[in-house]
Amino acid sequence: MRRITLLAVVCLLLSVGSLAGMDWGLSAGAGMCTLRQKAVQDIYGAGFPSGVQAWAGSKNWIVSAGFEYMSERGQALPLDGGQDEFPLRLKVSSIPIALYLQFWIKDVFLAVGGGASYFWYEERWEDLDIITEGKKWGPLLSFLAGYRFSPRWSLFGNVRYEPMPTGKSSLQVPEVKLGGLKIGAGVMFYL
């Protein structure tokens, strides 16, 4: 994590001159993570991530980087169909980075993009001393639509597919994927 932060700071410092002519913005939003892998959906249901992002762009191209957090409670399902209950807690944090192609129609904008997300997770069995955790990169695809209602403020909605493959298996699936289709909304402030 320190290496990624250091690399981001160095890149920013080296490119300050070229960034001066760009548009900048900050956004905050929340949403719902659905259409997940069946094994994850059965245990946790829909997730509710929230996050912030920084945006920079010129003409029709926009780059974004942010931070997103999701915390969920669930129940492990006994494989033998028994009555045992195993409460679980899942925490997922991610740093999504994406490049968007944006189009404006008066005060309405549409953007489509893709990129990668660095995420880390922790699943804790609350009654047992079992913790599963990991860190990994994964792909993301995104679509944004919004309305600029003043020179500095916009409302937006987004649909993002972010599978978050863990690279780990379970008794039910060969590779656990914690993400899915994320549908959200938020507000953006232009600097």
- Max alpha carbon distance in the chain (Å)? 64
Residue 14 is predicted with a pLDDT of: 47
pTM of the model: 0.81
Confidence of residue 80 (pLDDT cuts 50, 70, 90): confident
Return the pLDDT at 177: 81
Alpha carbons 117 and 186: distance in angstroms, whole number: 19
Q: How many residues does the chain have?
A: 191
Per CATH, which fold does 22-190 belong to? Porin (2.40.160)
Q: What is the 3-state secondary structure (H, E, C) of the chain?
A: CHHHHHHHHHHHHHCHHHHCCCEEEEEEEEEEEECCCHHHHHHHCCECCEEEEEEEEECCEEEEEEEEEEEEEEEECCCCCCCCCEEEEEEEEEEEEEEEEEEEECCEEEEEEEEEEEEEEEEEECCCCEEEEEEEEEEEEEEEEEEECCCCEEEEEEEEEECCECCCCCCCCCCCECCEEEEEEEEEEEC
pLDDT for 167-180, tens place per residue?
A: 777 766 677 888 88
- The pLDDT, as a whole number, for residue 82 is 73
Comparing 162 with 165, which gets the higher pLDDT? 162
Convert the pLDDT of each residue in 131-157 to its tens digit: 888 999 999 999 999 999 999 999 999
pLDDT digits (tens, 9 = 90+) for 13-65: 445 555 566 789 999 999 999 878 787 888 888 889 999 999 998 888 999 99
Domain ranges of the chain: 22-190
**187: confidence class by pLDDT, cuts 50, 70, 90:** very high
| Confidence band, pLDDT 50/70/90 cuts, at residue 76 | confident
Q: Name the percent of the chain lying above pLDDT 70.
A: 87
- Which range is least confidently modeled, 13-22, 102-111, 119-128? 13-22
